Amino acid sequence: MTIAASAAGARGALGRGRLRNAAERAGLFLAVLAVLWGLWEGFRAFGEAVDLRAGQFVVNDRTMPHLHDIVAQLFEPSRRNGPLLIGVLWDAALFTAKEAAAGFLLGALFGLALGTALAHSGLLQRGFVPYIVASQTVPILAVAPMVVVWVNPRLPPGLRDWGAVAVISAYLTFFPVTINTIRGLTSVDPRALELMRSYAAGAWAVLWKLRFPAALPFIFAALKIAAPASVVGAIIGELPASIQAGLGGAILNFNQYYITSPPSLWATNLVAALLGISFFLAVLLAERLVVRRAPEHVG
Partner 1 sequence: MSESRPAVVSLRGVTKSFGAGGVTALQSIDLEVRPGEFVSLIGPSGCGKSTLLRIVGDLVEPTAGEVVVNGKSARQARLDGDYGIVFQDAVLYDWRTVARNISLPLELLGWDRARRAQRVRELLDLVELRGFENHHPWQLSGGMQQRVAIARALSFSPALLLMDEPFGALDEMTRERMNAELLRIWERSGSTVVFVTHSISEAVFLSTRVVVMSRRPGRIAAIVDIDLPQPRTADTREEPRFFELVTEVRDRLREGGLDEDRTAPDEGELVGEEAP
Binder to partner 1 among 50, 123, 142, 294 (CB under 8 A)?
Answer: 294
Instruction: Give whichever of 5 and 134 is closer to partner 1, judged by the CB atom.
Output: 5
210 lies in the site for partner 1, by CB under 8 A: yes
CB of 224 to partner 1, least distance (A): 18
Q: What CA–CA distance (Å, rounded) separates 240 from 219?
A: 31
Helix (H, G, I), strand (E, B) or coil at 139: coil
SS (H, E, C) 19-66: HHHHHHHHHHHHHHHHHHHHHHHHHHHHHHHHCCEECCEECCCCCCCC
**Part in contact with partner 1 (CB under 8 A); list of ranges 152-160, 186-194, 230-238, 246-254:** 186-194
**Part in contact with partner 1 (CB under 8 A); list of ranges 57-65, 110-118, 158-166, 212-220:** 212-220
Instruction: Give whichever of 39 and 192 is closer to partner 1, judged by the CB atom.
Output: 192
**Part in contact with partner 1 (CB under 8 A); list of ranges 2-10, 66-74, 138-146, 277-285:** 2-10
User: Half-sphere exposure (CA, 13 Å, Cβ side) for 283?
Assistant: 26
185 lies in the site for partner 1, by CB under 8 A: no
Binder to partner 1 among 79, 209, 242, 244 (CB under 8 A)?
Answer: 209
Which of these, 177, 147, 150, lies nearest to 165 by C-alpha position? 147
191 lies in the site for partner 1, by CB under 8 A: yes
Q: What CA–CA distance (Å, rounded) separates 66 from 111?
A: 42
H helix or E strand, kind and range, residue 102: helix 85-119
CB of 41 to partner 1, least distance (A): 46
Which residues, 6+ apart, have CB-to-CB distance to 169 below 8 Å?
Answer: 99, 100, 102, 103, 104, 106, 107, 230, 231, 233, 234, 237
Instruction: Give whichever of 145 and 217 is closer to partner 1, judged by the CB atom.
Output: 217
**Part in contact with partner 1 (CB under 8 A); list of ranges 19-27, 122-130, 213-221, 225-233:** 213-221
Residue 175 and residue 103 in contact, taking contact as beta carbons nearer than 8 Å: no
CB of 189 to partner 1, least distance (A): 7
Binding site for partner 1 (CB under 8 A): 1, 3-4, 7, 189, 191-192, 194-195, 197-201, 205, 209-210, 213-214, 216, 291-295, 297
